[in-house]
Structures are given as structure tokens and as C-alpha cells.
Amino acid sequence: MIALGADHAGFEYKEKIKALLQSMNVPFEDLGTHSLDSTDYPDYAHQVSLAVAAGKAEFGILVCGTGIGMSIVANKHSGIRAANTESVAGAKLARQHNNANILALGARLTPWETAKEIVQAFLATPFEGGRHQRRVDKIHTLTNL
């Protein structure tokens, strides 16, 4: 299951992502926003991050104007590895090397066709493990300082 969240700037992309996921037969939960009315991006980033961190969703997708604010908030949560991605290559590498579990997109920076390809690549790309697992393990621990 994919947890979806967006602020007002990302609302239209979130709606398009919902249609894309439906066409791919991928289950999702829409955690808001549900209109173009002005909202605060942290509200939705927290909800999606909590769903992923609790195991209620395998992945999360967040959309705001740039993806930056959403990724900053999401990465405050333990166990979350959110990647703000503007390219297909970046989405693949975020999954392969970083085991990213939340994708953040910027609706004002990324054309829809590119965003669509990013979502597809993110969801289709597995984590490579191996040498990357050691590095990912160090993300959520302070014992290596």
C-alpha cells in the first residue's frame, strides 16, 4: 500500500498519481489534502511518514511545490528515508542505494510526464542491499559518530 499526501501546490499531481496507481493496480491511501485550498505541507508529510514508519504503508509519495519541505519533514521521522527526486535516474538510485521509502516530488519544478516516470521507476526499483545495506544501517544510528 502507498500512502499519499500533498499540500495545495501538489494537490493536482496527487490526483494524477492516484489515477496512475489505480491503472497499475497498486493500492493506496489518500491522506490529503483534498482541495486546492491553502494548507501546511508538514501536516501531510507527518501523516504519510507515520503510516510508512508504522508499517501501514510500504511506501509514501509526497507532493508539494518543490518537494523540499515535504522531504525535510519526512526525514525527521525515525525509519524514514525520503528522497526529493527530480529525475528517473535519481528515483532509481534512491531505491537501489538508499532504500528510500518515501518519494517527494515538486509539482512546480517537475513536468507531469517526468513525475509520472519518476513514480513508476521508484515503485519498480528494488533496493540492491549488499554494500548499500551497511550504509543504510548507519542512517538511523548515532553510534557511528
Q: What global pTM score does this model have? A: 0.94
Residue 133 falls inside a structural domain: yes
pLDDT digits (tens, 9 = 90+) for 37-81: 999 999 999 999 999 999 999 999 999 999 999 999 999 999 999
Residue 95 falls inside a structural domain: yes
CA end-to-end span of the chain: 35
Active site residue 77: no
Active site residue 97: yes
pLDDT digits (tens, 9 = 90+) for 91-130: 999 999 999 999 999 999 999 999 999 999 999 999 988 8
Catalytic residue among 46, 64, 77, 140: 64
Nearest CA-CA partner of 71 in 33, 99, 37, 42 = 42
φ, ψ at 59 (rounded to 5°): -135, 165
Residue 144 falls inside a structural domain: no
Residue 145 falls inside a structural domain: no
What is the Cα–Cα distance from 18 to 67, expressed in whole angstroms?
17
Residue 143 falls inside a structural domain: no
Catalytic residue among 8, 46, 97, 132: 97
Count of structural domains, the chain: 1
**Which domain covers residue 60, as residue numbers?**
2-137
* CATH code, domain with 72: 3.40.1400.10
